[in-house]
Amino acid sequence: MSQVSIRKVVKSYDGDVQAVKGIDLEIEDHEFVVLVGPSGCGKSTTLRMVAGLEEITDGEIWIGGDIVNDVPPRDRDIAMVFQNYALYPHMSVFDNMAFGLKLRKVPKPEIKQRVDEAARILDIGELLDRKPKALSGGQRQRVAMGRAIVRHPKVFLFDEPLSNLDAKLRVQMRTEIKKVHQTVNTTTVYVTHDQVEAMTLADRVVVMNQGVIEQVGPPQELYHNPGTRFVAGFIGSPAMNFLPCRVQNGAGGLTVRVGDSMVLPVPPARKERYASFKDREMILGLRPEHLYEYHDDSKPGVARVEAPADVVEPMGMETMVHFFVNGIPVCARVDPATHAVPGETLPLSADLNHMHLIEPETGRVV
């Protein structure tokens, strides 16, 4: 019974600025939910309201079947891991982890047993006598997680726990966090601005923007079926290409016309869906991996386009080719064996079966 419900929650600072503008979110027991969004979108504020560190201006928050709006943090049965770890500098690693249990008058032998168990999960058994200042960043991060684990709380809250680590350690700790969750299986709300972290960790990703939830869904779902232009552009790296376009009737049915030169056929499966947007200014969204080196296999919905390469970035497994269409930068992901040279025209296949059509006024993906 450790679901978290966020119902029509609003947070305004000083009465006027709304940091969170009425969000709804149901988090299941044992679920790992990641709040992701650009800096300042209200992720931390949301998390801190769940923790009880920030008052809720309006709405309700429920944890495990109880409304907690007026419950202080210590009685919410949650544990939080902070971006800067917030270890108690004067206490040993053991005491850092045991502090919350001591305050709750857990018997000594049980404290020891729980700390040892957490230390084993996190592989910090040898560090228990050290002070935080004698630990590396990654070790401090583990201790901070250990402090949360020993409490056996209803909910884990993480606020950008990996942003202070270097890139390599971040990937390693990411796996670690996933492993810990698989071991202890506690309901988790995790905040990050890094969409890769969100995709890799989450059962469900919550994309936030300017104080509202843009979309909620499993990572693959958000990736393949973004609901808004914001989500389409935020999830995925390199980001989705966006080109202003016009849906028109052309030879062989409905087409998407980009500028004057490029006319692309709408795949048969989408024709009905897009028919009502005929003759309107729209935005075409296409991920770089759906723009690849030309194959002459005339699959339906795949069109040949040509563009002079501007920058070529070999990455090993793949090569990114950047070019311009009507002055708008576009990125294609091609096989590394492709002969791509800056300045030379490169034939590409655009797989419109994966296209997204976006209404510019609302940002809605149609």
* Interface residue list for ligand ADP (CB under 6 A): 13, 17, 19, 37, 39-45
Q: Nearest to residue 253, comparing CAs of 268, 238, 234?
A: 268
User: What's the min distance (Å) between Cβ of 51 and ligand ADP?
Assistant: 12
Among Mg ion, another protein, ligand ADP, none, the one that 276 touches (CB under a kind-dependent 5 to 8 A) is none
Among ligand ADP, another protein, Mg ion, none, the one that 316 touches (CB under a kind-dependent 5 to 8 A) is none
Binding mask 34-73 toward Mg ion (x if CB under 5 A, else -) reads: ----------x-----------------------------
**In this complex, which beta carbon is closest to ligand ADP, that of residue 40 or of residue 65?**
40
**In this complex, which beta carbon is closest to ligand ADP, that of residue 17 or of residue 251?**
17
**In this complex, which beta carbon is closest to Mg ion, that of residue 44 or of residue 319?**
44
User: What's the min distance (Å) between Cβ of 227 and another protein?
Assistant: 34
Among another protein, Mg ion, ligand ADP, none, the one that 103 touches (CB under a kind-dependent 5 to 8 A) is another protein
Angle at 94 between CA 91 and CA 98, to 5 degrees: 90
User: What's the min distance (Å) between Cβ of 213 and another protein?
Assistant: 24
Binding residues (CB under 8 A) for another protein: these are: 51-53, 72-74, 78-80, 82-90, 99-100, 103-104, 131-135, 137, 140, 147, 151, 164
Among ligand ADP, another protein, Mg ion, none, the one that 41 touches (CB under a kind-dependent 5 to 8 A) is ligand ADP
User: What's the min distance (Å) between Cβ of 14 and ligand ADP?
Assistant: 6
User: What's the min distance (Å) between Cβ of 15 and another protein?
Assistant: 15
User: What's the min distance (Å) between Cβ of 43 and Mg ion?
Assistant: 6
User: What's the min distance (Å) between Cβ of 45 and another protein?
Assistant: 14
When asked if residue 18 is in the footprint of Mg ion (CB under 5 A), the reply is no
Binding site for Mg ion (CB under 5 A): 44
